[in-house]
Amino acid sequence: MAVRLLHQVFAQTLTWLALLARSSASKDAEILALRHEVAVLRRTNPRPRLGWTDRAVLAALSRILPKSLRACRVVTPATLLRWHRRLVARKWRQPKPPGRPPISGEITVLIVRLAMENRTWGVVRIQGELRRLGHRVAASTIRKILRSRRIPPPSGRGDAWRTFLRAQAAGLLAVDFFHVDTITFKRLYAAFVIEHRTRRVHVLGVTDHPTGAWAAQLARNLAADLEQAGQRFTHLIRDRDAKCTAAFDAVFASIGVDVVLTAPQAPRMNAIAERWISSARRECADRLLITGRSHLHQVLDDYVQHYNVGRSHQGHDVGLRAPDDDPNLIPLPTASHRIMRRQRLGGLLNEYHPAA
């Protein structure tokens, strides 16, 4: 900075020496031109930004000017006094304390994770859990991080459908309908139910004229099968299909199963059932020409048998097993020449198992 100031002083000195060799008329003309330029600049930028070297040179030159001209300069006496007050304040300013260290990105991710995975936890609860994990973070910092991620407080964070489904998976059933067009362009409707915990599927029936009475009879057959097998379920998830009438819901209420309705036009609220429909279409229904109701029933029976016995699944806590596989059985590695293939639906579906 000292070099810059010396350069400014040297340049101003050379400019002053050059002025000594000029006539008064040329100086007066230059002064008039400069005054006009300054007036133009003041109209476009009334408060120009000056560097500290510019301030020093202007302050020194203002001491030479007459008092009547000092008020017309960019640097007025009030400006000089303001600069002086800033210099005095800078000299006696105390250094700021360093403060608390910033939160690392890993801790920030952990805070967001705890808030998203535990929707009933508040700031203090998250702070306590972090302290148990060896991280000391202030509650105000946690609150600031959650606000920056637009995560609402616990009162505004209700349980998501995913949390509800996982908590109730052992007692959940999901029912749905889907259609298949035959080779003669006749539309057939199939009803099925799927168990959330095991992903086991049961085809309830196939018809070409679905009605509320037909759906209620399917519900009675399913309720009788559940009672006979001794299986206990607590909730049944279904959409708002008109075929599911009050009689349909009354059948399940009689065996202690609460019917949970999904929101309108929200297929993801019944995602497991919708996923099975997609798999059934992609793996067999869209690859075959269906001739009639009995043919579709046979195809779905074969596919459900394959789905429950010979196909691995990726669901939560399923562990890439088939629904009917023993979860406590760990299969030993099998040599490739001892692996046998079983075909279903004319080779559309393949199952592999060790040779006996």
Tell me, yes or no, whether 310 and 206 share the same domain: yes
Residue 169 lies inside a defined structural domain of this protein: yes
The pLDDT of residue 11 is 74
SS3 label, residue 137: coil
The DSSP annotation for 304-328 comes to HHHHHHS----STTT-S--TTS-TT
Angle (nearest 5°) at CA 39 between 37 and 43: 115
CA–CA distance, 67 with 72 (Å, rounded to integer):
10
Residue 32 lies inside a defined structural domain of this protein: no
CA–CA distance, 148 with 137 (Å, rounded to integer):
16
Tell me, yes or no, whether 79 and 197 share the same domain: no
Residue 147 lies inside a defined structural domain of this protein: yes
SS3 label, residue 41: helix
Question: How far is the CA of 163 from the CAs of 50, 54, 118, 166, 314, in angstroms?
Answer: 61, 66, 10, 5, 17
Domain boundary pick from 158, 174, 191: 158
Residue 37 lies inside a defined structural domain of this protein: no
Residue 67 lies inside a defined structural domain of this protein: yes
pTM, full prediction: 0.57
CA–CA distance, 143 with 126 (Å, rounded to integer):
10
Tell me, yes or no, whether 250 and 318 share the same domain: yes
Residue 345 lies inside a defined structural domain of this protein: no
The pLDDT of residue 249 is 94
What letters, b where the CB count within 10 A reaches 16 and e where it falls short, cover 165-176? beebbebbbbbb
Tell me, yes or no, whether 127 and 249 share the same domain: no
Strands 235-238 and 349-354, how do they pair? unpaired
Domain boundary pick from 90, 119, 141: 90
Contact 210, 243 (CB under 8 A): yes
Tell me, yes or no, whether 232 and 275 share the same domain: yes
Residues near 317 by Cβ (< 8 Å), separated by ≥ 6? 169, 197
CB atoms within 10 A of CB 161: 16
Which amino acid is it at 76? Answer: T
- pLDDT by residue for the chain (356 residues), tens digit each? 567 767 766 776 777 677 666 677 766 666 666 666 666 676 677 677 767 676 666 666 666 665 655 555 555 667 767 777 787 787 788 777 777 778 888 889 999 988 888 877 888 888 888 888 888 888 889 999 999 988 888 765 555 666 666 677 778 899 999 999 999 999 999 999 999 888 889 999 999 999 999 999 999 999 999 888 888 888 999 999 999 999 999 999 999 999 999 988 888 889 889 999 999 999 999 999 999 999 999 999 999 998 988 877 776 666 667 777 777 777 777 777 787 888 888 888 888 878 87
Tell me, yes or no, whether 80 and 123 share the same domain: no
Residue 335 lies inside a defined structural domain of this protein: no
Tell me, yes or no, whether 154 and 174 share the same domain: no
Q: Spell out where the chain has E strands.
A: 172-181, 187-195, 201-207, 235-238, 258-261, 339-344, 349-354
Number of structural domains in the chain: 3
Q: Which is nearest to 201 in space by CA: 288, 278, 287? A: 278
The pLDDT of residue 212 is 93
Given strand 201-207, what is the order of strands in its sheet? 201-207, 187-195, 172-181, 235-238, 258-261
Domain limits for position 127: 105-158
194's tokens: 């799927």
Rg of the Cα atoms in the chain? 41
CA 310 to chain centre: 35
Q: How many CA atoms lie within 13 A of 20 on its CB side?
A: 5
CB atoms within 10 A of CB 92: 6
Tell me, yes or no, whether 232 and 119 share the same domain: no
Residue 216 lies inside a defined structural domain of this protein: yes
CA–CA distance, 51 with 347 (Å, rounded to integer):
83
Q: Which is nearest to 139 in space by CA: 126, 151, 129? A: 126
Tell me, yes or no, whether 199 and 260 share the same domain: yes
Residues near 194 by Cβ (< 8 Å), separated by ≥ 6? 173, 174, 175, 200, 201, 202, 272, 273, 276
The pLDDT of residue 27 is 66
